[in-house]
Amino acid sequence: MNERIRGLTGLVAMALTSASLQVAAQGSDVSSAKDLTAVIALQGLPCGQVTKVTPRGENDFLASCQDGNRYRVFVNADGRVVVEKK
């Protein structure tokens, strides 16, 4: 894994952690939706913009997009960010 991808993976993991704390403190908010929109875009998946965030656990979210797509975004046991189409 090259250094740039490793850096992006760390940045995305930090964004998910930040989003997790914000969701826990304030419910689904604009900031976590923007973070998840960026994570989904970095994976090259269609979304447009995340309109709803449903926390499923620590660093585990269900993101609903304005284009109708839904994704589970989470950090796996290896510390990698995974985006699964639902």
Q: What is the pLDDT of residues 20-55, one digit of tens each?
A: 444 443 444 567 899 999 999 999 999 999 999 999
Task: Give the residue, 61 or 22, on which the prediction is more confident.
Answer: 61
Q: Which helix (H) or strand (E) holds 77?
A: none
Query: CA 41, CA 59: separation in Å to the nearest integer?
Result: 18
Query: CA 4, CA 69: separation in Å to the nearest integer?
Result: 28
Does the pLDDT value for residue 72 go beyond 60?
A: yes
* Residue 31: predicted pLDDT: 78
pTM higher than 0.75: no
Query: CA 53, CA 34: separation in Å to the nearest integer?
Result: 10
